[in-house]
Chains A and B, each alone.
Chain A
C-alpha cells in the first residue's frame, strides 16, 4: 500500500508522456457518511502555478511517474465540492488526536489503501520509520522495520478510525467533533486540550457539545480556561457555563474581563446566572468563594422513602449527593445525613430521626483553611455554608476544600512547558 511520502514530488505526465508538473497534494472527500476519506483529485505543481486534476483522469497513481489519461489541455479543472481534506496541507506534519490512547500525536506519513480502483486514507503513521521515510532515508527505515524488536506490525501506525483530524488545519474546521472524542474521559480531554495549546484547544472545545465541553473545561487549570474561552463566541461560552457547576463557572468568570463576564451572565439562563452571581460576590478564599450552590436539601418531616424517591428524580442533575441536608421552611439548616444513613434508615423513618442534629457548618466569609480543617477533623464529604441567619447557602465539597489548601497535585503547578 502506498505511502504519501512515496507519492509526493513525483512527476505527473499527460497522455503523450510529457511531464506537466509534480504532485503537490492529494484531495480527499470529508463526508460524515464515508468513514475513510477517498481521494478525488490531485494538486499538481506546474511551472504556471498549481492546478487541480480530477482523480478520474489519473491512469496509474502508484508508478515511477504518474501518467494521466488526457492531454494537458483537455483536463477539466476540478471544482472542489465544499468540504475537502488536503492531505499534505491538513494532515501531514500536523497534530491529530489519537483517540484510543487519548493523546496528541504528530503525523509523519499517511498510508493509502486501494479498494476497487479508489484510493482511501487507511492509516496515519506516527512512527520513527515514517519520519525517516519522509527524510528520504528509506534504507535506514526499512532496516529498523526489519529488526525483530521493532518489527511488530502496527507499532506507530494508527487506523484512520481512531484519529480525529480536528485540529489539523487553520482553514479546515469541522463543526461537530466525532463521538470518538466526546466519549473520552473529561480529564483525558482536558489533557488533550492543554497539549493542543490555546488555538487548537479552543477549536476542539468549540466543536464539543456544551455538556462535554463543560466537563472537560472544569478539569483545565483556571488561567488556561480563560485563554481558551477568549476566542469563543459568547453564545457558546454561555451554554458551556450553564452546564458547569456554579462554583467552577464563577471561578472561570472571575478570570475574564468584567464586561465580558457580565455579558456572559446576561446570556445565561436566569436561574443559573443568579447562582453564579451570588458566588462571585464572595472573596475567592472564603467559604462562600469555594462553595457550590448545587446541593440537596429536604424537610425534617419527610420520610426516608420519600427522600429516596425524590433523589431518584433529582439526583441525576446533582453531582453532590453523598451528603444531604435538612432545612426548615425558611431554609435554615437543621441537620445533615449521609447517603448511607438514608439507605440504612427504615422507609417510614423521618429525616429528623436519623439526621445529625449538630451538623457542622461554616459562615459565608469563613476562611477556606477553616473549611479544610473541619473536613479533615470530622471526615466530612461536604461542609454546609450558612449565612448570618443560619440559612443554608451552599456546600463546600471535600475535594474543593482540600484543593485550595493542597494545590491540585503539585505537578500541575509546574509551568505547563515542563509536564
Chain B
C-alpha cells in the first residue's frame, strides 16, 4: 500500500463523510434566509409558543422531502428539472418550472426586502441599499469566484446561532415550551393558518429540492455515497429547524410577552436585547444582511441554471452573454425585477417577505406530487432505491396536510374569518 493511500486510509470514514457533506448542509443554511428569519420572528411575536408544535412535524417533512431529492440525485446523477423533463415530458416541465420561476422571483423580492430592512437599521435608505446590493450580487457571481463567496456567506451564517444563546438568556418558561411543542393548538382564523402555511413554505421551499439535487449531481455523488449523503441531509435539516425554533422562542419570550407586534426589522432585533444589549439591532442587521445577500445570490443563479438545463439552453457563468442569452437573461431579470419591486412604494417590508413565503407554501404540494411520481419510478431508481410503502404513506400524508392547510387558508381569507 502506497503512502498516498495510507494517508487516505487513515480515518477514511471521517474523510469520506466530510467529502460528501455539503449539498444538504449548504441548502439547509440558505434556507434560513430573510423570509425564514422574518417568518419565525413573526410566529413567535404574534402567537407566542402556540405554533411551536408544528416545528417537529416540519422537521420530519423537511427531512422526508430533502431525502427523496438526495436519493434521486445520488442514484440518477441528474438534477430534478432534468428528470422531470426526461420522465414526465415537456408540458409538465414547463408548468413546474414556470411555477418555480414565479416562486423564486417572490423569494428574491423577499431577499431584497431583507437587504432593505437590515440597512434601514443603519439608517441607509432602501433607494440606495437595494440597487447597490443588486449590482453587487450580479457582479459577484458573474465576475467573482463563487466558491469563495459561498464559504464566506456560510461562515457568516453562524451569526444565527446567537439566537440559540439569546433563547437561553431570555430565561423562557421551558415547561410552557415543552407543553406547547407536544400540544397541537389550532385556531380557525386566517392569520393563524396563514402563519402555519408560511412556516412550512419558508422551511420547505420548492427551490431547495432543485438546488440540492443539482449540487449532488454536480458533485458526482454515487449510490455508494448514499448513506453519507443521507447523514448530510438529516444534519442540515435538524440544524435549520433548531435555529428556527430558537428564533421563535427568543421572539416569543421577549416580544409576545411584551405585546409587541413586529412591524419593522428593528422590532425583531429586540429579541436579541438580553444577549447584545444596545448592539442587538446591529447584530440582527448584520445577520439579516448576510442571509439576504447569500440567498439573493443563490436563488436567481440556481433558477437560471435549472431552467436552462431542462430546456437545453447554454448555461454557466463562464460563458458570454452572447453564448448563453437565456441564462443571463433569467439571472439578470430575477435580480433586476426582484430589486425593482422593493423600490415601489411599499408600506411594510415585513408583509412583503411574508407574502412570498406563503406563495412557496401553496406551490410546494405541486412539486412534491411530481417528486413522488419520480421517486416511485422503478425504471429510474431500481428496486433498491425506489420509495417504500412507509415513505409513500408519510409523503402523501405531508402532501394531504399541505393541501388541507392551503384550502383552509384560502377559505378563511374568502369568508373573512379574521382573528
Contacts and interface: CB of A to CB of B under 8 A. Distances in A.
B284 interface: no
A93 B305 contact: no
Given A108-B312, A198-B222, A419-B317, A281 B86 contact: no
Interface string B354-388: 00000000000000000000000001100000000
The residue in A227, A281, A410, A415 that gathers the most chain B C-beta atoms within 10 A of its C-beta is: A415
Interface stretch (A235-243, A282-290, A293-301): A282-290
Nearest to A202: B77
A277 B2 contact: yes
Chain A interface helix/strand/loop/mixed: helix
A205 B301 CA distance: 30
A415 B149 CA distance: 11
Nearest to A197: B77
B220 A415 contact: no
B5 A254 contact: yes
Contacts of A197: 77-78, 217-218, 220
Nearest to A279: B2
A227 B73 CA distance: 13
Interface string A386-419: 0000000000000000000000001101111111
A258 interface: yes
A230 B224 contact: yes
B8 interface: yes
Nearest to A104: B312
The residue in B5, B215, B314 that gathers the most chain A C-beta atoms within 10 A of its C-beta is: B5
A314 interface: no
A170 B379 contact: yes
A16 interface: no
B8 A105 contact: no
Nearest to A278: B2
Interface residues of A, number: 50
A414 B312 contact: no
Nearest to B94: A135
A415 B317 contact: no
Contact of A418 (B301, B379, B380): B301
Contacts of B218: 197, 415-417
Contacts of A200: 77
Contact of B145 (A131, A136, A280, A410): A410
A419 B318 contact: yes
Nearest to B1: A258
A209 interface: no
Interface in B212-251: 214-215, 217-222, 224
Contacts of A332: none
Interface string A57-92: 000000000000000000000000000000000000
Nearest to A284: B4
Interface string B147-170: 100100000000000000000000
A414 B145 CA distance: 7
Interface of A: 93-95, 103, 105-108, 126, 131, 134-136, 170-171, 197-200, 223-224, 226-228, 230-231, 250, 253-254, 257-258, 261-262, 277, 279-284, 289, 410-411, 413-419
13 contacts: A106-B310, A131-B311, A197-B220, A199-B77, A223-B220, A262-B1, A410-B145, A411-B318, A414-B147, A414-B317, A416-B218, A417-B302, A418-B301
